[in-house]
Amino acid sequence: MSDHEGAAAGGPPPGLPISDPAERRRHWDRRHATHEPIESGEPDPILARYAGDLAPGRALDLACGDGRNAVWLARHGWRVTGVDFSSVALDRARQRAAAAGVEVDWQPHDLLQWVPPEGAYELVALVYLHLPPPERRIVLARAARAVAPAGRLLVVGHHRRNLEEGHGGPRDERVLYTAEELAAEVPGLVVERTEAVVQEDATGRRRVDAVLAARRPMA
Ligand SMILES: C[S@@+](CC[C@H](N)C(=O)[O-])C[C@H]1O[C@@H](n2cnc3c(N)ncnc32)[C@H](O)[C@@H]1O
């Protein structure tokens, strides 16, 4: 999903998070299929600002969706692997990459099953993935382990405050978080930034994002 409205509406629907992984994947396939096709190709602004200050290397975009962030990274010199369990999302991501003239290694995996290679990426990004806390901890710990020495992890998602103060995003508090909660779930990394970032889109709608940036010390 390329725009914030699409991403913001992400996560399990109101009520109990979907417990059946196959049903979750179908849910996301349906969401990607019914969402408007790729439009502006704008990356998440927090990711773009953050990665824009780094020297490009290998990047892993977890829950990459239709590839807006992965393609942006590839266009800026990163060697990118994008992972998502929605085949519809990855088809769109492929189209986006082809249109942009960049190569990205798109991999179809369920992040609750797949274990990324350890210490392999200068940047691991996780943007708008909202899972129940026990699952989030598993995915975050694996994401942290995938960071190379001196590499970075960036997590951006809807802050718990977004429920009251922001537009869009999951309406189930259990899948929202604070940056401080995320910071406690990245073993082996040095936390550099925990923040609640308030932004407005072009139509004046507010959103509150939790942002965690962390790095692995030099080997
Ligand atoms: C709100 S979208 C965000 C997409 C992208 N990061 C972005 O910012 O545009 C959430 C994505 O997470 C993916 N996702 C959710 N649960 C997943 C899981 N267990 N394994 C892999 N991908 C998952 C969905 O398919 C969807 O593409």
What's the pLDDT score for residue 37? Answer: 53
Q: Which of 4, 25, 28 to mutate to test the pocket of ligand 1 (most atoms within 8 A of CB)?
A: 28
Res 201: pLDDT: 86
Phi-psi bin for 117: left (phi > 0), alpha (psi -120 to 50), beta? beta
Over the stretch 14-56, which tens digit does the pLDDT of each residue have? 444 567 778 888 989 888 888 765 445 799 999 999 999 999 9
**Exposed e or buried b per residue across 5-38, where buried means at least 16 C-beta atoms within 10 angstroms of its C-beta:** ebbbbbbbeeeebbeeeeebbeebbebbeebeeb
Q: Considering only CA atoms, which of 66, 107, 61 is closest in space to residue 80? A: 61
Instruction: Report the distance separating Cα 87 and Cα 80, nearest Å.
Output: 18
Query: Exposure pattern of 66-80 as b/e (b: 16+ CB <10 Å)?
Result: bbbbbbbbbbbebeb
In angstroms, rounded to a whole number, what is the distance separating the alpha carbons of residues 59 and 150? 13
In angstroms, rounded to a whole number, what is the distance separating the alpha carbons of residues 6 and 210? 18
Q: Report how far residue 80's alpha carbon sits from residue 60's, in angstroms, rounded to the nearest whole number.
A: 6
* pLDDT tens readout for residues 152-206: 999 999 999 999 999 988 989 999 999 999 999 999 999 999 999 999 988 999 9
Does the CB atom of residue 129 touch ligand 1 within 6 A?
yes
Which pLDDT does position 11 carry in this prediction? Answer: 53
| Pairing of the two strands 190-200 and 206-215 | antiparallel
Residue 16 has what pLDDT?
45
What's the chain's length in residues?
A: 219
Contact 114, 86 (CB under 8 A): no
Looking at domain 21-215, its CATH class is alpha beta
Q: Is any atom of ligand 1 closer than 6 Å to the C-beta of 89? A: yes
Each residue's pLDDT tens digit, 90-124: 999 999 999 999 999 999 999 999 999 999 999 99
* Token duo for residue 147: 């960071």
Distance 54 CA to ligand 1 centre (A): 24
User: What is the pLDDT at residue 1?
Assistant: 54
Between helix 45-52 and helix 68-75 the angle, nearest 10°, is: 20
- What pLDDT was estimated at residue 6? 44
Ligand 1 contacts CB of residue 85 (under 6 A): yes
Burial class (CB in 10 A: 0-12, 13-18, 19+), 101: exposed
pTM: 0.93
